Amino acid sequence: MQSRREWFKSSIGLGGLMMAPSILTAEEIKKYNPRPLSNVVKLSSNENPYGPSERVRNAIIESFEDACRYPYEYILELQKTLAKKHNVSPESIVITGGSNEALRVTGLAVADDGGEIIAGQPTYLALMSYAEAWGGKIKWVPVDSNKGYDLGKIEESIDNQTKMVFIANPNNPTGTLLEKSSLSDFCERASERTIVFCDEAYYDYIEESNYPSMDYLVREGKNVIVSRTFSKVYGMAGLRIGYLVLKPELADKLFGEYSPYGRNKIMAQTNVLAVAAASEALKDQEFYAFSLKKASQEKDKIYKLLDHLELKYVKSSTNFVFFESKKHIDNLSKEMLDKGVRVGRAFPPFYEWCRISTGTSQEVDKFISAMLETYS
């Protein structure tokens, strides 16, 4: 195996992809707002290292004058915009204080009377954790040998106790993407028997052309819920705004009847500043394209590093990579933190696997340097 120094030199020659500096112009820095390089680089939470964009920041500043107002009428306008985006009625859009609130309040609604949820393992836990805390039961189905959902086993597990099936697609932490016809067929069949919740937090990062959102099943009146967030590609994790897409009758049942003041079982909703930011973010296609491009570039650098270190990984349809670390994640986390890089937590049962988020070019370079030192 090459020495660290030799690899640095050869990597720059690989089309400049691995270690060549990626320097933004002053105009790009103003537009895209990259986070500054810190002593400890946080690559553990799948945050976008860019944003909010200049356009979004200006929208937030302008909305300060409205911060004395309750957010209801502003939310109604955003609902109309999102309804148009998803080709549904405004009553089919439920705006929440981040998609986490959407997941948790759904978990709470389903947990009533010990409701059962079926979910793959590992996956994003917010909905299941909240349901379990309030008396719900979780039936876990392990992912398959490729770290993807085993839809066959999930479907076999549905019975008359099942109140919901949870699917994160692309999945977190594995980054896997379900084959589109398999997913569509599964959701159509399963939604005849129970509610199917499709977490599409990372949908924007999917590179496969014409990959469908499951919102089309909402338009067909199926028992399907789609969740989306502004935290990832739009770079707005700190503003806490997300939303659900579902048929109005199901929204009424789970979250209370629709009114101009929101649904009475949605606890936090969101705030005027976040609504203004989200409304502008949807228009800012330049920032959207930039975020996707940068995430793809940094993933390619991580793939090349892992190939060099001969560490297996899952090709990702997200802004993170899940790889086999060949050491317990607690040990790797400590070693990497000592070198100034914070990586993802443990995801049972894969204790010798690690999730690493993409960051700025400089942040990923710091991760690469720390990994080379750790595995030398």
Q: Name the residue with higher pLDDT: 201 or 2.
A: 201
Total-model pTM: 0.93
Placement of tokens 């691995």 in the chain: 18
Q: What is the mean pLDDT of residues 35-50?
A: 96
Mean pLDDT of the 312-334 span: 98
The C-alpha atoms of residue 209 and residue 277 are separated, in whole angstroms, by 28
pLDDT cut 90: percent of the chain above it: 85
CA–CA distance, 184 with 205 (Å, rounded to integer): 19
Report the phi/psi class of residue 320: left, alpha or beta, with left for phi > 0 and alpha for psi in -120 to 50.
Answer: beta
Give the mean model confidence (pLDDT) for residues 139-167. Answer: 97
CA distance 214 to 335: 40
- Rounded to whole angstroms, the Cα distance separating 193 from 118 reads 13
Sketch out the chain's domains with CATH numbers: 4-50+285-374 (3.90.1150.10), 55-281 (3.40.640.10)
What is the rounded average pLDDT of the residues 45-62? 97
| Average pLDDT value for residue range 128-137 | 93
Taking only the tens place, the pLDDT of each residue in 6-28 is 655 455 444 444 555 567 899 99
* Averaged pLDDT, 142-148: 97
Q: What is the pLDDT of residue 112?
A: 79
Output the pLDDT for position 17: 41
Confidence of residue 257 (pLDDT cuts 50, 70, 90): confident
pLDDT of residue 16: 46
- For 18, 35, 52, 242, 269, the CA distances from 96, given in Å and listed in that order, are 39, 26, 19, 5, 4
Better pLDDT: 14 or 214: 214
- Over residues 328-341, the mean pLDDT reads 98
Per the CB < 8 A criterion, the answer to whether 307 and 109 are in contact is: no
| pLDDT: which is higher, 312 or 100 | 312
> Does position 183 have pLDDT exceeding 70, yes or no?
yes
CA 183 to chain centre: 18
Band of residue 4 on the pLDDT scale cut at 50, 70, 90? low
Q: How confident is the model at residue 267 (pLDDT cuts 50, 70, 90)?
A: low
* 264 CB burial (10 A radius; 0-12, 13-18, 19+): exposed
Average pLDDT over residues 229-245: 97
- Residue 268 pLDDT: 66
Distance CA 358, CA 189 (A): 35
Count of residues in the chain: 376
The reported pLDDT for the residue numbered 6 is 61
Tokens of 276: 């203004």
Query: Cα-flanking dihedrals φ and ψ of residue 244, to 5°?
Result: -115, 150
Region 190-215: mean pLDDT is 98
